[in-house]
A and B are shown apart, each in its own frame.
Chain A
């Protein structure tokens, strides 16, 4: 008995050692995992259960010069699917369609994204209708992986008035995602598509934040999680424009109904864009959510091209207003003085070599000085002035003024003017060497020369200022792109303005568009375009209080509308009057031009009191 017990005590001791060693191994591994490496494992358990969600930054608000809202955000809802096996995501998507209408193209994109995979939730729609959200919330348990989140939605209170200038937003596309400036973007992000929304995308967008939600092993979101610091949303910057929404509304009100064209108004002092109007337009609010493919194709297919921003993209032959350009070039080069008469007086035509170049008035204008030639828009005078400048110098100074280029306005889609960069142009374009006589056409705004209304408005700045023209800007804090400057003596500028003033006086083509309270100077244009229908109607003008410097430069261009004096001139006059009355505290009135005074039977004696010099 004792012998056995002794022998067993050896066995028992060894057994004790074995037990302690085996459990010691476990304890030491546990110590290593739970004490020495606990932070690593804790991190991994956090990664297990926490999913980052992108919190979109609210886009900056766009306002006009008086703080009126042009683009802001309203509450909306986005619907996303938390990533899972592709099969179950497809099944969720299928069931989702019972409650949510999705265009076919959208489904294709989503299918592609599901197959591509990715850690972030898949955005199904950034703009879910409220009834769909309500229906889905009711069936929450049936859609465990659905993520319904508030998401600001873009709104354009100004509607189609801002359509072209403000632009609109849309969901980022795959090509954009590949670009470096959208490095941190994700599918489903809303980005500016055109206009200010696109040009100032980086300012307006802000920086998206990240927040964490807790998910279970099945990927269901069980709650939001505050323990891990997310990335705070950095809202987009608000942008105040130089634009005057009231003026835009007024222009829209007075623009001839059913016609297409553009009106531009620039602040003379700063070059700021007061109005940039293009007709017809569209309602940018239809782009705020998911774009309806039908709506889109309707807009694209519309023969009136409402998507086309005529003020900055439309290039038109400038016609008579270009005579101001010819005059400015001549003065800059010093080849003429304003009081100088051209050697050949106007008899209705000008003979150059074997060519007879006609004046628009077959009766002829006689011998004119520069202001007179501007007043009467005399072709014969400007033919001779053009010849005196010469073709090469016309092209040289014209290009220095940027007529072959864009103004550099802060918009993405500005078109450059069409203007020969040198005399080689004719050879390349038309296959013959340019002759000196080409300058005849160019001098009166014909020939290979198409300009945007905006470019013409920028040119007017030079007349209204001191020969310098900064690039027009929309954003009030924008640093304008380098403009250009002509070297013209102030008294010569006054002479040109005088010629433009005479256009508005009795006997001038736009006399009926003259204003009671303001000094409107201008130049009409009635431009043949080679197509069917009436001519394009141009008017370029500058206006300000009597005796003071010009404060606003305006251009109106109405397609197929007929003479400049009948359509474009009253348009500019009414816009200028509206703006300047507001600026100078004169009560606004719908009876503005001389013609309106006459038609309304108002006292129009002021029109005759003016000194015709």
Chain B
């Protein structure tokens, strides 16, 4: 416990990157509010973000001093509380801001927050604890059953909101943590296979080929799996293929359009394709050096949608150019490599699993968010960590960072 007072200093490369990204975010949120026809709502958002950032910094200073044992004790209780609050949100939640259509906010005493953001952290803690308690790495699929269920509960609750973006973050967290728990990669692939099967089910021919390949893979891996597991994997994939069409039909029209315009933006250039086209135009027209801070025309003239939340990276691209986007990605890259290093050198499996899990969450956010602004990934309502406007996400990201700092600094 030496130097507990200054643990965050010992992880300075990490905390400094988080702070730099957050300050950059406040600046970009300010720029996102500079419009030709100013909106009183978006104009002052940077100030609110700055206030929350200040609170987050204070929170980090406090949280990072809590000993590792406490987190081990509290991991399961806070997980249960987190799931309970998510369940309440489904009933009492409201939409807000650019996430108007998603009932992801809960209001308590005038404060509005997104329980899903807290649930990411609590679930990561619980999952890390669950896997850290194992003596051996998972060897069979059934070893992954409890961890999967642990993640599935909040994930389904989030999907029901329906918030596909946050659900994706849970998926990223799950695979990151089981990977760090030294699960053999064929197992990870088999665990992921129903998801892949779901996507490929849209073409019967492709799906048939995929199932055959999967069966061959299972046959080759037969000595490492129980028969019932192999059969489960096949059944899971068949089930995924079977529900694909009903699932597609159950999607809201805008969600379907988002997937369709990802394949061809010109399908619906005025609505679903609009965001993608305008975002690509914004980023591309930024060029090497950008149009200048606050001077992006796509943003200024309101061509760019949700410019302070999900599409803030497009503002970065338009106004700061490739230089700006490359530096941003380098900062994230540095952050993630630092976190891998922290996980690698952590004194306990719990610490390493948690830090790596949070890295998986943020990496998912960054890849999907940046990817959608340039058409690499379908448009999903998912914010860019530390940079997008959003109090709950910023605060909870900082709390996760604080816990990571606390855990990484613990000597065994």
Contact = CB atoms under 8 A, between A and B. Distances in A.
Interface of A: 1, 4-5, 7-9, 11-12, 15-16, 19-20, 22-23, 25-27, 29-31, 33-35, 37-42, 44-45, 48-49, 214-218, 220, 222
A16 B334 CA distance: 10
Given A15-B179, A26-B329, A220-B37, A40 B371 contact: no
14 contacts: A12-B343, A16-B337, A26-B329, A26-B371, A29-B376, A41-B281, A41-B284, A41-B285, A44-B285, A45-B303, A48-B303, A49-B301, A216-B37, A216-B301
A33 B326 CA distance: 12
A407 to B, nearest CB: 59
> SS class of chain B's interface: helix, strand, loop or mixed?
helix
Contacts of A30: 283, 317, 322, 325-326, 329, 374
Interface string B365-398: 0110011001110000000000000000000000
B61 interface: no
A41 B341 contact: no
Contacts of B325: 27, 30, 34
A33 B182 contact: no
B363 A22 contact: yes
Nearest to B277: A44
A417 B349 CA distance: 111
B352 interface: yes
Contact of A19 (B37, B300, B337): B337
A5 B344 contact: yes
B169 to A, nearest CB: 15
Contact of B367 (A1, A26, A220): A26
A26 B316 CA distance: 14
Given A7-B182, A15-B356, A44-B281, A34 B317 contact: yes
A11 B180 contact: yes
A44 B280 CA distance: 10
A608 B23 CA distance: 111
A27 B329 contact: yes
B352 A48 contact: no
B138 to A, nearest CB: 14
A33 B300 CA distance: 21
B236 interface: no
A38 B36 contact: no
Contact of B333 (A9, A20, A34, A48): A20
Contacts of B345: 5
B93 interface: no
A12 B341 contact: yes
Contacts of B300: 216
Nearest to A18: B363
Chain B's interface size range is 35 or more
B286 A38 contact: yes
Given A34-B288, A37-B284, A215-B301, A29 B374 contact: yes
Contact of B287 (A35, A217, A218): A35
Contact of B281 (A4, A11, A45): A45
Given A8-B344, A27-B329, A31-B322, A216 B36 contact: yes
Q: Which one of A44, A214, A215 has the greatest number of beta carbons of chain B within 10 Å?
A: A44
A215 to B, nearest CB: 7
B279 to A, nearest CB: 11
Contacts of A9: 344
B322 A45 contact: no
A48 B298 CA distance: 8
B150 interface: no
Identify the 5 closest CB pairs spanning chains A and B, nearest first: A41-B284, A45-B285, A38-B287, A216-B301, A34-B322
Given A35-B287, A214-B301, 14 more contacts: A8-B180, A8-B343, A9-B344, A11-B179, A15-B180, A23-B366, A25-B376, A38-B286, A45-B281, A49-B297, A49-B303, A214-B297, A216-B36, A222-B37
B282 interface: yes
Contacts of A31: 322, 326
Contacts of B343: 8, 12
Contact of B374 (A16, A19, A33, A217): A33
A27 B326 contact: yes
Contacts of B182: 7-8, 11
Contacts of B285: 38, 41-42, 44-45
A222 B340 CA distance: 49
B384 to A, nearest CB: 12
Nearest to B290: A34
B186 to A, nearest CB: 15
B192 to A, nearest CB: 14
A26 B36 contact: no
B82 interface: no
B140 to A, nearest CB: 19
Given A23-B332, A35-B287, A45 B297 contact: yes
A145 to B, nearest CB: 13
A215 B301 CA distance: 7
B36 A222 contact: yes
B335 to A, nearest CB: 10
Contacts of B370: 26
Contacts of A11: 179-180, 182
Contacts of A15: 179-180, 340, 356, 359
A7 B184 CA distance: 12
B8 interface: no
A48 B304 CA distance: 11
A192 to B, nearest CB: 40
